[in-house]
């Protein structure tokens, strides 16, 4: 009887799945980085970059056709963001100077970041948001929307917390932007860019492997929107062990890519047929299922007996040097679900939290 009632409800009262859309702003102030803007700000809607500004150009630039047209049609909107770009870089330069002074840091590369924005549910209208600051890749202070007060995850930020808690007027302004203005911006941008932002595209899925002993990577690229998940399963059951999930990354054309690796070191060749990779895209009717099959795995690995060792050693050394340069140049940390990524400080002074003083930002 209960089954028949459930079927009746599904037929006459179909379930509509809500979609959460987001608008996020990432600003970065750096010190000690050569040949790079001191200040960089980007805006993302549904994880797609649509706006950009730095301390060299001092002008907001639309990164999508629809956002560039928006700025052309609405100069006041562009002036609003340009003004914020100019004012923020001066304010954050003061912040990073204060932190360096009070934390006894005189050399090295240092990064001060702010992340803020909102998430809007198009079915329920529910709005969530965040305002968070980080220093040298670690959480420094965050805004609590429920209490309109600040959270200091590190002892050095306690003085700043008390100072900012007392500024109730400014906290009310932050809350109003996140809960009122930000959702309206989300709706406006989604409407202007609906042909690209609200499109649904399935990815191409490949199985990749560096060497015969390496994990097999299930790689999906070219999908949109970013609301997707991918996993390995065995005999129809999702696997959690020997599996490593990668982040969803943005492609140059506004689509996304992601990977999930499977360690097969303890799996016999006879059992490979029991494994498959599943890609699920929000809004798509069917999943993409890829069977684990050696014949379809793509690799650039070649047996050592098939080529001379000299050029290979030279190539490997060259790649390692290139990798070292790339790692050295990376200093803008991506946001995790719970904050900034930890980073090693290059400053010559002590980075031990217990050995530094409290830092109070103005």
Nearest-10 crossing angle of helices 168-176, 158-166: 80
Classify 119 as helix, strand or coil: strand
Contact 225, 283 (CB under 8 A): yes
pLDDT tens digits, 292-345: 999 999 998 765 544 444 444 344 334 333 333 333 333 344 444 456 654 443
Q: Which helix (DSSP H) or strand (DSSP E) does residue 324 occupy?
A: helix 309-329
Q: How many CB atoms lie within 10 A of CB 72?
A: 10
Q: Is the pLDDT of residue 83 over 50?
A: yes
Q: Which helix (DSSP H) or strand (DSSP E) does residue 238 occupy?
A: strand 237-238
- E-state strands within the chain: 20-31, 39-45, 48-54, 61-62, 110-121, 127-135, 138-144, 149-151, 204-208, 216-223, 228-234, 237-238, 243-245, 249-250, 256-262, 275-281, 288-291, 297-298
Residues in the chain: 362
DSSP-assigned beta bridge partners for residue 149: 144
Calculate the average pLDDT of the chain: 83
pLDDT of residue 253: 87
Contact 23, 185 (CB under 8 A): yes
- Two tokens, residue 355: 């050995």
pLDDT tens digits, 103-123: 888 888 999 999 999 999 988
More confident residue, 18 or 302: 18
Phi, psi of 136 (to 5 degrees): 50, 40
Q: Domains in the chain and their CATH numbers?
A: 14-195 (3.30.500.10), 204-298 (2.60.40.10)
pLDDT of residue 160: 93
- Two tokens, residue 201: 């595209």
Q: Is 63 exposed, middle or buried (0-12, 13-18, 19+ CB in 10 A)?
A: middle
In degrees, rounded to 5, the angle at the alpha carbon of residue 226 between the alpha carbons of residues 223 and 227 is 115
Q: For residue 246, give the DSSP letter.
A: P
Residue 281 CA to residue 108 CA, distance in Å, equals 43
Q: Count H helices and E strands in the chain, helices first.
A: 8, 18
pLDDT of residue 252: 86
pLDDT of residue 182: 97
- Two tokens, residue 125: 């209208």
């Amino acid at each position: 009887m209960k089954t028949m009632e459930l079927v009746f409800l599904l037929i006459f009262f179909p379930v509509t799945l809500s979609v959460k859309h987001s608008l996020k702003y990432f600003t970065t102030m750096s010190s000690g980085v050569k040949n790079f803007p001191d200040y960089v700000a980007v805006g993302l809607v549904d994880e797609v970059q649509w706006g950009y500004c730095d301390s060299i150009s001092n002008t907001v630039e639309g990164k999508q056709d629809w956002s560039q047209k928006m700025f052309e049609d609405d100069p006041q909107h562009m002036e609003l963001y340009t003004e914020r770009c100019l004012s923020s870089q001066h304010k954050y330069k003061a912040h990073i100077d204060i932190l360096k002074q009070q934390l006894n840091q005189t050399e090295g590369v240092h990064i001060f970041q702010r992340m803020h924005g909102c998430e809007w549910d198009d079915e329920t209208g529910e709005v969530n948001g965040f305002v968070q600051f980080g220093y040298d890749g670690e959480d420094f202070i965050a805004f609590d929307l429920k209490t309109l007060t600040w959270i200091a995850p590190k002892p050095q930020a306690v003085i700043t917390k008390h100072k900012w808690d007392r500024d109730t007027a400014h906290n009310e302004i932050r809350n109003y932007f996140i809960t009122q203005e930000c959702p309206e911006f989300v709706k406006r941008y989604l409407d202007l860019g609906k042909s690209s932002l609200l499109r649904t595209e399935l990815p191409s899925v490949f199985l990749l492997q560096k060497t015969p002993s390496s994990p097999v990577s299930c790689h999906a690229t070219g999908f949109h929107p970013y609301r997707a998940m991918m996993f390995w399963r065995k005999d129809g059951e999702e696997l959690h062990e020997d599996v490593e999930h990668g982040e969803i990354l943005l492609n140059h054309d506004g689509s996304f890519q992601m990977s999930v690796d499977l360690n097969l070191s303890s799996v016999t060749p006879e059992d490979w047929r029991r494994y498959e990779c599943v890609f699920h895209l929000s809004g798509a009717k069917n999943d993409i299922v890829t069977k684990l099959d050696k014949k379809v795995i793509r690799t650039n690995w070649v047996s050592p007996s098939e080529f001379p060792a000299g050029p290979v050693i030279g190539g490997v050394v060259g790649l390692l040097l290139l990798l070292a340069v790339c790692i050295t140049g990376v200093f803008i940390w991506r946001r995790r679900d719970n904050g900034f990524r930890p980073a090693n400080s290059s400053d010559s002074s002590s980075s031990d939290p217990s050995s530094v003083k409290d830092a109070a930002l103005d």
